[in-house]
Chains A and B, each alone.
Chain A
């Protein structure tokens, strides 16, 4: 290669700066001493040419990323930093915020409703993640192993196409303790009706069930796509070795699906932590705060009580919590590795 030659430093004849750099870098391990020297030299020589080239590229590159950067800066970065700032203030929207330091955080630590809401949210997350992942995994595997019908696959996705509010309203009607179809069926079967949204013990499980029903198709589809990446030869090999369907599911499918499953779990966790609309439509956090999830509490503090400073503090706490949970999950599940190669 021309660049690696020591004698050629006066007249480098590489097609472009980028290629030269790449070659220099890849060449380095094999010809260690020479490569390093060339790299150093080219480091001196190359910029003189690439600087000119880069000067042309830079404005164009900036122009190209401008929409994305502007969108990110205006709609993500600025609100985030403003939210962090507001969490240290007493802010009621109509008057300018006043700096209160750590007062909001002190209030947060001693706010029983906040900790209760956190537990309620965690309960909802555990229920919807456990059942959500399980149901969608089973659905996807059954679909994958039994049918090739695209219609059936589409049907599974149907609940996902319904808006959250509509889904919650329809379920609320069906679960109504006086008029609901499920209640009528229950009364005929057991003689009693259950207040699905009206009793403390049932509120969160009912909400989690709606959420699982709603999202099951979407996650099943993701897992289904993951299943299609597993080569059929593996199952053939399994069958040759005399493995049953259940064994193949446990020993082949699940381990090979791990990256997809990890993603699905991370998505369900984030999704479940953000639950708001179905709660607002059905229980509004009641009865007696039994379904007062964190988002609901934050919303009420901000938009009903106009205590935006404290609401921002709670949002910040949720933000930190979500980052920690997601990071831990991804580390534990080794989501960026696959057992397929």
Chain B
């Protein structure tokens, strides 16, 4: 009986161990990415507002206008060959590129553009405000957006906004043009095809959605008859891999061609690999602390300033986020109109202590910070906890899942929140609005900006920031944003620390990948595989 048992054990064990894995290389004309894509809620361009969903839209749909990444994000025509602005800055006329076809073979006309804007405005999902802020709504949209002929679209806005502001907004995903015939065919109960477009595509862009399985992967097929020419890679497969460590292994073993979410330590270790190279691009995401002004200690101006002096920016950058974030202390990210590079704060324990003493808190105080249980957030929070502790500020970290900390932040029941903010579109107003406008600090506020979430009541700064969207002179507009930011750095309850750098590690045979300043500008069509 001993023999039998032993034999069974040995043979089963041997069977287990000889399972040599088959490591298949990725097919030649297919580019495979490992990426965290579990943030996708929908692929519908009128609804998608999360990084990964917007990135899919950028590759599947075309817009009237785009930005030239190689040329300082200058506005360029895409579906619109040209456009004019009326002298009163209220009417925009777009001439469409002729002979553009959707993936379905339907011709793309001005009627599709009108339908797409009408659809986005009427559905009015999360990104809808990017269009409705120009005075478009579901009742008036057909009066304000018109197609006098098949190649012309005329849009009227409600105020003489800075033209750069309106045009920048048209480069965002919500302004993508959808195939009106196909969408109408898949409409259900008057939903404007929303349910269908969540999982499918109806665009004219470089790629079309072949399959999408939430939290698993999406596959895109090249559009051979794209108006800019057929994309180089015939198929793109993006697979959800949550762990940076796993992404790196898949890349090094050749199971994927690109790894999109490597952390600092993963990057450091792939640097030595001959088969791998690294591509970087500045992203607009800002990493900051929000200090709730409902907390009496945090409401003291000296305390706000002291806490800014007590973060060891340099040590965190070098040791925790090197290569994935860089120091940045103002609310407009580099690359945006009006961005400034001023970094007034660095770690200064004596100064921090002095300010705390001035605030009557020489012995420090205790405060909590809601912290998402993900890296690098947890590590950064612990590093801050350590340096604040040296000045007597006892920071208690409250770990939680993303949605949990966010729920608390939105209800203004936090003390301190550590988080990221990314611009909604490529115009400075997006960040200026959220960081420096708070129209109504009451609980019944309609617009709940980040300034509101931290209960920061700023009537003066609100007025100044709001007036600046009507400034038609781009240089003047930029200068005013500079002033607002410098003031903001001094007094705001935001400890702005870093700007994100998006990094991709890719196999050497991958060429042409350029990381844009937002998810709207991460284009796959330039990628080729040698």
A, B co-complexed: no
Which residue numbers of B lie inside 8 Å of A, CB to CB?
none
Which residue numbers of A lie inside 8 Å of B, CB to CB?
none
